Structure 1
Amino acid sequence: MALFFDAEWFDARLAERGLSRQVLAAAAGMSAADLALAFKDQRELSAGEVAAFAELLGVEAREVADRAGVSTPAPGHPSPTEARLAALERRVAALEAEIARLRRS
């Protein structure tokens, strides 16, 4: 993860698509002032803003989060703890199904 907002990277992606910062702000539902704070690393992006940036720029949300210095997980990418919990929940569900099947036998 980048420690700071990588304004040069975002500006380059915008330039590749012929877009402006104003379009980026509008796509994310942000004011120009909020976007300026993010570009100056004085405001962290929300998960929804990360997702909107990713869609507009045609990159993965994880890339946007990394380039923005976002400390919270990007949308669609569970934290290691969330992934482990989901795996355990699947195992418990499978065990419960097996117990139910054995009881019917």
Structure 2
Amino acid sequence: MALFFDAAWFDAQLAERGLSRRVMAVAAGMSEADLTLVFKDQRELSAGEVAAFAELLGLAAAEIARQAGVSTPVPGGGPEARITALERRVAALEAELARLRR
């Protein structure tokens, strides 16, 4: 079980970006019921879910893990983690390019 999941922090991050918990669940490949359990500290996030939240919110996976609880795994090492990190960087660059074009 995650320790000290900061639901208010996650809700604030979502609100700041105009997103909902439903969008967060979809982005992580979770059901809304599973996400509700996460927000209630009754289910721990997987490394993949941490990575998905980080990508959605544009934050480092370590920050997501910290806010989700110290026992939550942080993605790292291995080819899959490198691909995920590169995909996040590309997404961030594309978002910045779109912002600059506006």
| Length-normalised TM-score, structure 2 | 0.70
Identity of aligned residues (%): 79
CA distance, structure 1, for counterparts of residue 7 and residue 28 of structure 2: 16
Q: Which residue of 1 aligns with 2:52?
A: 52
CA distance, structure 1, for counterparts of residue 34 and residue 70 of structure 2: 15
C-alpha contact (below 8 Å) 2:61/2:74 kept by paired residues: yes
Moved over 2 A (4+): none
Q: Which residue of 1 aligns with 2:40?
A: 40
Aligned residues: 77
Deviations 1:43-87 (A, max 9, x none): 00000000000000010000000100141430127xxxxxxxxxx
Which stretches in structure 2 are left out of the alignment for 5+ residues? 78-102
CA distance, structure 1, for counterparts of residue 65 and residue 16 of structure 2: 19
C-alpha contact (below 8 Å) 2:46/2:73 kept by paired residues: no
Which stretches in structure 1 are left out of the alignment for 5+ residues? 78-105
| Length-normalised TM-score, structure 1 | 0.68
